[in-house]
Amino acid sequence: MPFCHRKDLGLLALRLGTGGVLMAHGAQKLFGWFGGGGLEGTARAMEHMGFAPARPSALAAGLGEAGGGALLALGLATPAAGAAAAGAMAGAVSVHAPAGFFAQGGGFEYPAFLGFVAAALGLAGPGEFSLDHFTRHRLDRPAVLLLAFTVSAAAATVVVTRRNAAVAAAADEGPGAGA
């Protein structure tokens, strides 16, 4: 294999690793695999975290992670895959942000890292060893990149803003409100 394929091999390794982790997290949310709560358990958790409506939020998070991860691993529709996964991770970051940065204290380090890597892959492209390359980059064009990241950023902004408002309102009501 020529030395010039190093970057493509690196992108493949990064896509497979990141995509695999994201797929596993999404499978926990959607199907209850790997000790996850499945869609119903995830919806209950999302409601408790301030995401509304809870079931569509759980479905969107699971699909963003599992679907975005699968597409990243395959190197198919890479801009959309990276944008979807990064958008899903923005929601997770909003949940963990009050605990600070580091994961050991419950912080947002891990979901932020997954989101940044997914976004970087979406921006950089999949490399030669990908389905996007095989399909002559039909789903990996500048217009797809612009649209995917614009929609993902807008959706994440709306979801996180609504969640933050719900959490603030619940905090204003005080402990035991609604019980």
User: Following DSSP, what letter does each residue of 60-101 receive, concatenated?
Assistant: HHHHHHHHHHHHHHHTSSHHHHHHHHHHHHHHHHHHHGGG-S
Q: How far is CA 6 from the centre of its chain?
A: 27
Query: What is residue 177's predicted lDDT score, i.e. its pLDDT?
Result: 54
Query: What is residue 179's predicted lDDT score, i.e. its pLDDT?
Result: 46
C-alpha torsion angle, residues 149, 150, 152, 153 (rounded to 10)? 110
Ranges of the chain whose pLDDT falls below 50: 178-179
